[in-house]
Amino acid sequence: MRIVSLVALLLALAGNAAAAGVDTLRSYLRETSAASAQFTQIVYDRSMRKLQETSGTMHFSRPGRIRWSYEKPYEQLIVGDGDKLWVYDKDLNQVTVKAMTQALGGSPASLLAGSNDIEKDFRLTATGAQDGLNWLEAIPRSGESTFQKVRLGFGKAGLEAMDLTDGFGQTTVVRFTSIVRNPKLSPDIFRFTPPKGADVISG
């Protein structure tokens, strides 16, 4: 999942406007302990030519629990149970597992499923309104992050978009629909047991 391996707000308006954008994210994190949504994800190269398009469903319950399921055109499942992060590739029948603290850190997923203290891992800047959303740019503080920057787009439904730029100049555009904030989610959806016969690789 490019949101882990590759998981809004305001054109650097001055003073209070910029602060208000960052406050939107803080408010979202404070008021949203869980969410479910459908998503589409498109990867572009540095010339903005489409390389890949996928879709699926997403659930998270903070802190540390996330389920990101790719359904089309291939199946891949990412499950974070608060302790470990599991990535299951159905076609390869292969599972990669690593500690959540190692997997999240400054990754985009930590913006969804991490703790409220995201400013420990990201520098936040409001960058303005565009396409009906208010945008915030998050720059990882760690040089080890897969991504150079993440843009978060907020609308009436909450977090509706994520744009991620990596070190190779590729951009991953994620759009969320059918968003449900604070649903009652079964703990079972954040548990994962490797299928029988699957190769399990520790990251």
Question: With the CA atoms of 107, 126, 159 and 27 taken in that order, what torsion angle do they form, in degrees rounded to the nearest 10?
Answer: 100
What is the average per-residue pLDDT within 76-81? 90
Q: Is 4 among the domain residues? A: no
Whether residue 154 is contained in a domain is answered as yes
Q: Is 9 a member of any domain?
A: no
What's the rounded Cα separation, in Å, for the pair 60 and 7?
9
Q: Is the confidence at residue 77, as pLDDT, over 50?
A: yes
Decide if pLDDT at 19 tops 50. Answer: no
pLDDT at residue 154, rounded to an integer: 87
pLDDT beyond 90 at 104:
no
Each residue of 189-198: pLDDT tens digit?
Answer: 999 999 999 9
Q: What is the pLDDT, as a whole number, of residue 46?
A: 92
- Which 8-state DSSP code applies to residue 194? P
Q: How many domains does the chain have?
A: 1
CATH number at residue 191: 2.50.20.10
pLDDT greater than 90 at residue 53 = yes
Q: Which domain holds residue 122?
A: 15-132+140-202
Look at 6 and 57; give whichever has higher pLDDT.
57
In a domain, 188, yes or no: yes
Q: Is residue 8 part of a domain?
A: no
Residue 21 — pLDDT band, cuts 50, 70, 90? low
- Give me the chain's average pLDDT, please: 80
pLDDT exceeds 70 at position 14: no
Tens digit of pLDDT for each residue in 114-142?
555 567 777 888 888 888 888 888 888 77
Is residue 35 domain-resident?
yes
- In which element (H, E) is residue 19 found? helix 15-31
At 96, list the tokens: 């990669």
Alpha carbon distance 179, 20 (integer Å)? 23
Least confident of 9-13, 21-25, 181-185, 197-201: 9-13
**pTM confidence score:** 0.78
